[in-house]
Homo-oligomer: A and B are copies of this chain.
Amino acid sequence: MYPILFERLFLKKTIRIILFLSLILSFQNSLSQNHPNLILTKQGVIDIKSQLGAIPIFDNTLDKIKKEVDANISEGSKVPIPKDMAGGYTHTQHKKNYNMMQNAGVLFQLLGDEKYAIFIRDMLMAYAKMYKSLPLHPQDKSYARGKLFWQCLNDANWLVYTSQAYDCIYDWLTDTETTYLNENLFKPFADFLSIESPQFFNRIHNHSTWGNVAVGMIGLVMDDNELVNRALYGLKEDNIDPNAKDNDGGFIKKQGQKVGFFANLDDPFSPNGYYTEGPYYQRYAMYPFMIFAQALNNKKPELKIFDYKDGILIKAVNALLNLTDEDGEFFPLNDAQKGMSYYSSSLVSALDIAYFYGSKDPALLSIAKEQNEVQLDETGLAVAKGLKDHLEKPFIKKSVELIDGENGDQGGVGILRYNKKDYTMALVIKYTSQGLSHGHYDKLSFSLYENGDEVLQDYGLARFVNIEQKNGGGYLKENKTWAKQTIAHNTIVQDQTSHFKGDFETGSQYHSIRYLFDASNPIFQILSAKENNAYPGTELQRTIAIVKEESFQKPYIIDVVKITSNATHQYDLPFYYFGQVISTNFKYEIPDVLTALGKDNGYQHLWKEASGISNGGTIEFTWLKNKKFYSITSATEQGDQLILARIGANDPEFNLRKDPVYIIRKTDSKSTVFVSIIEPHGSYSPVSESAKNTYSNIKDVKLFYNTENYTAFIMTYKFGIKKLFILSNNDASKETKHEINIDGKSYQWVGPYLFKTIK
């Protein structure tokens, strides 16, 4: 395939001698003549080799990877001409190639078997031969087409991984070889991803992070400072049209926006590490962020990258781990495929790097233990050793507020958790900024989990990532027409239109406002946030609390949505439950033919299965899912509509999940309040056929008082106790003394709310 062997060996020997001499003569050469030095380092390799066979998880990971790479080498390498979309053959093969090369590089360094170096060299040569003459990828679905893949993003993935492989065999290659590869493959590749694709490279976006890091990594390997600086600070000129948008409808670039790797650390990360796109994309971006940081730390320690922005990278990993359910799966805020979790290889890597360069937090080790694999370098070795020495401590996911925005002043995500042995509840409430082009229009939405299972869901994205039959694995049109729309979420919709009319530009100008977050009392945790821009002229405030009463088997949830508007509107409050309707205390009609609930804004995707009208009393809705019962008990006004609907209308390719929803609708309302108690209760066993606690324990819920400054409701438990809740709407101070008179009675308290038993 390439220069015959004896020639290479001869050259190699000569070069080694020259290398040795030059090392002695000049330490300045060390940067370029001392590979590996990107992720693996010379010293790191020595340390690791000395401990091979003694650190179980490290050894097991190495063994697993060795098996995969060996199998791949036996199959013979394939470098096909790019052709297919995601999920198709050429896409999958090129993706496999960069993974195999990266792993082979590690195996070469740790095991010293030349076959791995040969595998990488030959494959790189095959890419190099092809690269310069490659046109843009034939599939033209992306705003930034790649060459190996349909989008630059995947090309950048390739380079981030392949840079590491290249670094591992750099010293083993001849000068002729490295010169050839640099000139024919890597430099053109880096230029293509940056200079030739500014709309991809010069953004604040996870795509650009990958692009920046790809260019930076290969720049570090080739000791090309120009490339490294390009990566860190972006292209100086890009001529990007300020109105240009990407495939997801996001703007490419705001005017005057800083770009490059540092800018991508500055802007999307909040001070406590929340990444504005949401956890699914944070997970995706964490790998390039962390791996490049590790490389920079090795080669440019003077940048002190892990201290940057008060240690933002380490904080980001912690934030991300907190954005998971009991099973380690990320909460699917914004565009997010469900099931993605901290078992993802990018999180294995990010966690190991965070452990090693952070404070060696033993709580991270317990997650690493679950992951049961490590990154094959010094960071992974440290983690594996920590586990071998049983240093791990539980990673306890507590209630936490993750603020959004570069300065942390753009709302946030509130997570309320109730943890008990064998039972956990998690509530995720979103009051962030738009979240860039992957953002959904769902201010003040929430989702509910029990023991890691969804109870009230966020739909996530409409996409089958890497399943070729479904639009080449790319976003489906239903992502825009359904998944991003407000009605696809558990939050208020006014007049069947989405927040900000579903307009990205408008949505990007605003964020919700955090009003109150107090999780200090585990049996009464409360959060409140406001949104004043989603519907001009209408102010929304949602208050959610987890309440655990001794007399209740599980905690219940208070959900109060206060709406203040200057005009009359229709308001829908959906609850995306799962499973089977067990009972309602209202009558409903079912239609003979099913029609869609509306014409647009996502409503065209809902079949209306049933509807009823409230008589103005307490309305109860009970369902059964996963052998457990749940009820939503709500205060309503006469004429409120109660709608049972199901996703799936106008879905010509069966792209949507046919999940159900219960909607409380208020028509012709100006200012109003939705009050609901969401209550998990009881259980069912199909084996003993025993049904326990199948009824809600809430007898009634009544709005008691509602002014600009205060909102109050009263509820009665079925066993008789009455509870009053009052919220101060405009003063969340813990110190303020409040006093109000309702129906001739005076109520006094200190702090933002009152919750107490009354007679």
Write out, one digit per residue, whether chain A residues 436-470 have a CB within 8 A of any chain B CB (1) or not (0). Answer: 00000000000000000000000000001111111
Contacts of A133 in B (CB 8 A): none
Q: Which residue of B lies closest to A595 (CB)?
A: B593
- Cα A34 to Cα B186 in complex, Å, equals 94
- Cα A338 to Cα B580 in complex, Å, equals 14
Q: Is the CB of A343 within 8 A of B582?
A: no
Contacts of A468 in B (CB 8 A): 691, 694
Q: Is the CB of B657 within 8 A of A580?
A: yes
Q: Does A583 contact B (CB under 8 A)?
A: yes
Q: Does A112 contact B (CB under 8 A)?
A: no
Q: Does A287 contact B (CB under 8 A)?
A: no
- Cα A540 to Cα B259 in complex, Å, equals 71
- Also in contact, A684 and B582, with CB within 8 A (given A646-B658, A658-B646): no
- Also in contact, A580 and B654, with CB within 8 A (given A593-B594, A594-B607, A648-B609): yes
Q: Is the CB of A345 within 8 A of B688?
A: yes
Contacts of A622 in B (CB 8 A): 469
Residues of chain A from 72 to 115 with CB closer than 8 A to chain B in the complex: 87, 92
Interface centre among A339, A466, A624, A654 (most CB of B within 10 A): A654
A340 touches which of B338, B646, B652, B686 (Cβ 8 Å): B686
Write out, one digit per residue, whether chain A residues 410-428 have a CB within 8 A of any chain B CB (1) or not (0). Answer: 0000000000000000000
Q: Does A473 contact B (CB under 8 A)?
A: yes
Contacts of A337 in B (CB 8 A): 686, 689
- Cα A92 to Cα B694 in complex, Å, equals 12
Q: Does A409 contact B (CB under 8 A)?
A: no
The smallest C-beta distance from A234 to any residue of chain B, in angstroms, reads 28
The smallest C-beta distance from A460 to any residue of chain B, in angstroms, reads 10
Contacts of A341 in B (CB 8 A): 686-687
Chain A: residues with Cβ within 8 Å of the partner, total of 53
Contacts of A653 in B (CB 8 A): 581
Q: Which residue of B lies closest to A87 (CB)?
A: B691
Q: Does A651 contact B (CB under 8 A)?
A: yes
Q: Does A359 contact B (CB under 8 A)?
A: no
Q: Is the interface of A mostly helix, strand, loop or mixed?
A: loop
Q: Is the CB of A467 within 8 A of B593?
A: no
The smallest C-beta distance from A81 to any residue of chain B, in angstroms, reads 21
Q: Which residue of B lies closest to A644 (CB)?
A: B654
Q: Is the CB of B687 within 8 A of A340?
A: yes
Interface centre among A473, A596, A688 (most CB of B within 10 A): A688
- Also in contact, A469 and B694, with CB within 8 A (given A580-B654, A607-B594, A646-B658): yes
The smallest C-beta distance from A586 to any residue of chain B, in angstroms, reads 13
Q: Is the CB of A467 within 8 A of B594?
A: no
Contacts of A651 in B (CB 8 A): 590
- Cα A583 to Cα B653 in complex, Å, equals 8
Residues of chain A from 688 to 704 with CB closer than 8 A to chain B in the complex: 688-691, 694-695
Q: Does A736 contact B (CB under 8 A)?
A: no
Q: Which residue of B lies closest to A582 (CB)?
A: B469
- Cα A469 to Cα B696 in complex, Å, equals 12
- Cα A464 to Cα B686 in complex, Å, equals 9
Interface centre among A582, A596, A651 (most CB of B within 10 A): A582
- Also in contact, A470 and B582, with CB within 8 A (given A593-B595, A595-B593, A689-B465): yes
Q: Does A225 contact B (CB under 8 A)?
A: no
The smallest C-beta distance from A370 to any residue of chain B, in angstroms, reads 12
Q: Does A344 contact B (CB under 8 A)?
A: yes
Residues of chain A from 670 to 712 with CB closer than 8 A to chain B in the complex: 684, 686-691, 694-695
- Also in contact, A338 and B595, with CB within 8 A (given A467-B694, A652-B590, A694-B468): no
Tally of this chain's copies:
2
- Also in contact, A582 and B467, with CB within 8 A (given A337-B686, A339-B686, A594-B607): yes
Contacts of A609 in B (CB 8 A): 648, 654
The smallest C-beta distance from A567 to any residue of chain B, in angstroms, reads 32
- Cα A590 to Cα B580 in complex, Å, equals 26
Write out, one digit per residue, whether chain A residues 623-637 have a CB within 8 A of any chain B CB (1) or not (0). Answer: 010000000000000
Q: Which residue of B lies closest to A694 (CB)?
A: B467
Contacts of A590 in B (CB 8 A): 650-652
Contacts of A688 in B (CB 8 A): 344-345
Contacts of A686 in B (CB 8 A): 337-341, 465
Contacts of A684 in B (CB 8 A): 467
Contacts of A691 in B (CB 8 A): 87, 464, 466-468, 473
Q: Which residue of B lies closest to A338 (CB)?
A: B686
Residues of chain A from 573 to 600 with CB closer than 8 A to chain B in the complex: 580-583, 590, 592-596
Contacts of A694 in B (CB 8 A): 87, 467-469
The smallest C-beta distance from A569 to any residue of chain B, in angstroms, reads 27
Q: Is the CB of B344 within 8 A of A687?
A: yes
Write out, one digit per residue, whether chain A residues 647-674 have a CB within 8 A of any chain B CB (1) or not (0). Answer: 0101111100110100000000000000
Contacts of A470 in B (CB 8 A): 582-583
- Cα A637 to Cα B657 in complex, Å, equals 31
Contacts of A466 in B (CB 8 A): 689-691
Write out, one digit per residue, whether chain A residues 217-239 have a CB within 8 A of any chain B CB (1) or not (0). Answer: 00000000000000000000000
Contacts of A652 in B (CB 8 A): 590
Write out, one digit per residue, whether chain A residues 593-623 have a CB within 8 A of any chain B CB (1) or not (0). Answer: 1111000000000010110000000000010
Write out, one digit per residue, whether chain A residues 344-359 have a CB within 8 A of any chain B CB (1) or not (0). Answer: 1100000000000000
Contacts of A345 in B (CB 8 A): 688
- Cα A92 to Cα B691 in complex, Å, equals 9
- Cα A297 to Cα B139 in complex, Å, equals 78
- Cα A580 to Cα B343 in complex, Å, equals 24
- Cα A648 to Cα B658 in complex, Å, equals 12
A583 touches which of B339, B469, B658 (Cβ 8 Å): B469
Q: Which residue of B lies closest to A95 (CB)?
A: B690
The smallest C-beta distance from A700 to any residue of chain B, in angstroms, reads 18
Interface centre among A337, A689, A694 (most CB of B within 10 A): A689
Interface centre among A338, A580, A687, A688 (most CB of B within 10 A): A687
- Cα A12 to Cα B624 in complex, Å, equals 52
- Cα A610 to Cα B650 in complex, Å, equals 11
- Cα A47 to Cα B582 in complex, Å, equals 49
The smallest C-beta distance from A535 to any residue of chain B, in angstroms, reads 29
11 contacts between A and B (CB under 8 A): A339-B687, A341-B686, A344-B688, A345-B688, A467-B582, A467-B694, A468-B691, A592-B596, A593-B594, A594-B607, A658-B658
In addition to A473-B691, A646-B658, A658-B658, 9 A-B residue pairs with Cβ atoms within 8 Å of each other are: A87-B694, A339-B687, A345-B688, A464-B691, A465-B686, A469-B622, A469-B694, A581-B653, A592-B650
Nearest 7 pairs of A and B residues by beta carbon: A339-B686, A581-B654, A594-B594, A469-B583, A593-B593, A465-B689, A467-B691
